[in-house]
Amino acid sequence: MRTVFKTSYDADINLFRHGTQAAWYMALLVLAVVLPFLLSTFAIGEATNMLIWAIAGMGLMILVGQTGQASLGHAAFLAVGCYANVLLQERLGLPFLLSFPLAGVIAGLAGVLIAIPTTKLHGIYLAIATLAVSILADDVIVLAEPLTGGVMGLYAPTINIFGLEIDRYVNPDRFYWLTLVVTVLVILAYRNVLRSPLGRSFAAVRDSEVSAKAMGVNVARTKATAFGISTAITGLAGALMGHFAGIFNNETFNIIISIQLLLMIVIGGLGSIHGAFFGAVVVALLPQAIAISRDTVGGLLGTGSIAIPGLEQAIFGAILIVFILFEPMGIYGRWVKIRTYFELFPFYRRDMFRRQKSYLKTERMR
Partner 1 sequence: MDVLQLFVSGLANGCVYGLIALGFVLIYKATEAVNFAQGDFMMLGAFIALGLTNEQFMGLPFWIAVPLAIIAMGVVGYLLDMLVVRHMFGQSQIAIVILTIALGFVLRFIAGLIWGHEPIALESPIAGKEVRFGGLVLGLDEVTIIVVTLILTVALYIYFNRTKLGVAMQAASQNQLAAYYMGIPVKRVHSLVWALAGAVAAVAGILFASKGSIDPSVGLLGIKAFAAAVIGGFGSLPGALLGGVIVGLIEPFASYYIAAGYSQLMPYLLLFLILVFRPHGILAQVHAKKV
**Chain residues that interact with partner 1, rule: CB under 8 A:** 70, 117-118, 120-121, 123-125, 127-129, 131-133, 135-136, 139-140, 142-143, 255, 259, 262-263, 266, 308-311, 313-314, 316-318, 320-321, 324-325, 328, 357-366
CB of 149 to partner 1, least distance (A): 15
Closer to partner 1 by Cβ: residue 349 or 364:
364
**Cβ contacts of residue 216 below 8 Å, gap of 6+?**
none
Q: Which is nearer to partner 1, 47 or 79 (CB)?
A: 79
Q: Which is nearer to partner 1, 143 or 247 (CB)?
A: 143
Instruction: Report CA Rg, the chain.
Output: 21
Nearest to 185 by CA among 246, 237, 258, 110: 237
- 8 Å CB contact between 262 and 70: yes
Q: Are 340 and 351 in contact (CB under 8 A)?
A: no
User: Of 140 and 184, which has the nearer Cβ to partner 1?
Assistant: 140
If the CB atoms of residues 125 and 169 are measured against partner 1, the closer one turns out to be: 125
d(CA 311, CA 35): 31
Task: Please say whether the beta carbons of 74 and 53 come within 8 A.
Answer: no
| Helices within 92-196 (DSSP H only) | 96-118, 123-143, 145-148, 172-195
Buried b (16+ CB within 10 A) or exposed e, 279-298: bbbbbbeeeeeeeeebeeee
Q: Closest distance between partner 1 and the C-beta of residue 165, in Å?
A: 38
Q: How far apart are CA 81 and CA 65, in angstroms?
A: 22
- Residue closer to partner 1 by CB (options 69, 99) is 69
Q: In whole angstroms, what is the distance from residue 142 CA to residue 132 CA?
A: 16
Would you give the distance in Å from CA 34 to the centre of its chain? 23
Query: Quick check: helix, strand or coil at residue 248?
Result: strand
Q: Is 239:108 a contact under the CB 8 Å cutoff?
A: no
Q: Residue 19 Cβ, how far from partner 1 at the closest point, in Å?
A: 37
Task: Choose between 244 and 316: whose C-beta lies nearer to partner 1.
Answer: 316
Separation between Cα atoms, residue 46 and residue 287, nearest integer Å: 11
CB-nearer residue toward partner 1: 105 or 320: 320
The least CB distance from residue 131 to partner 1, in Å, is 7
